[in-house]
Homo-oligomer: A and B are copies of this chain.
Amino acid sequence: MAIRLGILGYGNLARGIECAVKQNDDMELQAVFTRRAPESVKTQSGVPVYGIRDLEGMKEDIDVLMLCGGSATDLPEQTPKYARLFNVVDSFDTHAKIPEHFAKVDASAKEGGKTALISVGWDPGMFSLNRLYANAILRDGKDYTFWGKGVSQGHSDAIRRIPGVKNAKQYTIPVEDALRRVRASENPELTTRQKHTRECFVVAEEGADLKQIENEIKTMPNYFADYDTTVHFISEEELLRDHAGIPHGGFVIRTGKTGMNKEHDHVIEYSLKLDSNPEFTSCVLVAYARAAYRMNSRGSFGCKTVFDVAPADLSPLSPEEMRSHLL
């Protein structure tokens, strides 16, 4: 019998899950739940939409609930709440608040005899895993994470809030020379500015002061002031035509030394190049839904992260097939 998924919240991530489920024969999407009026939401795949109030009543129909809300306000409330009733997977990505989120979700999931996987995706998620593996192997070394080239929604939103800006898209770009030095085992100490540049494509309101907008972007604290930032003013048509996608990606690199006299250098590198950030993230979430279901079946209750999941639990293949074909 297929693993029956439910989705809470219908945005980009949920749409990605609809696609991902189609690629996994052992999965089935049962329902989407929304805080909006259900009749106002139309799913791509035609899966039925229910109001969030119907969720508790459908406990028996859902094996794993995919929580697709945002990390700022939705997940801190939803994950602990629903982890008592369902096996859940979320993509909580506020790094600093993970310990607090973990504790709440853990208590709730244990109370309900459920399995909750938090902070799943690619960062946190696959990038975290690669940091852990590389650190466990190369004990004497240095970690580097670069993001991009990709669209940062947070930075794009920050630009859109500037008066006179109609629309905007921001790309985070790793600095090639920094990557080259890291890969060459130079172990550089890199400042924020030396690791990434930021490129902005901005549609201004008619008559807006472009010099003023550019200056406001480049001097914006936290978001842009510490980076070399380029601003391009373009038309709305150009923005829609050339910058409609949500690509992203990045690099996790650990360099380290071995040998009786630290005479040997090693470089471990993991990288992602993604045409669609939410669709890739969704694929990761769906693989971890499989693990949540299996771990729960084995009585492994409580909150877990990608660190706690044996790789085999992610795969639809049998242990024999894995050993024959992938090992």
Determine the distance from Cα of A89 to Cα of B244 in the docked complex, in whole angstroms.
Answer: 50
Which chain A residues (94-111) contact chain B, with CB distance < 8 Å? 95, 98-99, 102
Give the number of residues in A that approach B within 8 Å (Cβ atoms): 71
Which chain A residues (1-28) contact chain B, with CB distance < 8 Å? 16, 18-20, 23-24
Judge whether A128 is part of the interface by a CB distance below 8 angstroms: yes
Nearest CB on B from A176, distance (A): 15
Copy number in this complex? 2
Residues on B with C-beta less than 8 A from A259 are: 19, 276, 279
Determine which residue in A129, A183, A276, A327 has the highest number of CB atoms from chain B within 10 A of its CB, and name it. A327
Judge whether A162 is part of the interface by a CB distance below 8 angstroms: no
The answer to whether A137 and B319 touch across the interface, beta carbons within 8 angstroms, is no
Nearest CB on B from A323, distance (A): 6
The answer to whether B19 and A260 touch across the interface, beta carbons within 8 angstroms, is yes
Judge whether A322 is part of the interface by a CB distance below 8 angstroms: yes
Residues on B with C-beta less than 8 A from A133 are: 126, 129, 311, 314
Chain A interface residues (CB < 8 Å from chain B): 16, 18-20, 23-24, 44-45, 95, 98-99, 102, 119, 124, 126, 128-133, 135-140, 183, 258-260, 263-276, 279-280, 282-284, 287, 290, 305-312, 314-317, 319-320, 322-324, 326-327
Q: What are 30 A-to-B residue pairs whose CB atoms are below 8 Å? A: A16-B258, A19-B258, A20-B139, A23-B139, A23-B140, A44-B260, A45-B260, A95-B327, A124-B327, A128-B326, A132-B312, A132-B322, A133-B314, A136-B290, A136-B311, A136-B315, A137-B284, A137-B287, A138-B283, A258-B283, A266-B273, A267-B273, A268-B271, A269-B270, A305-B322, A307-B310, A307-B311, A307-B319, A307-B322, A308-B312
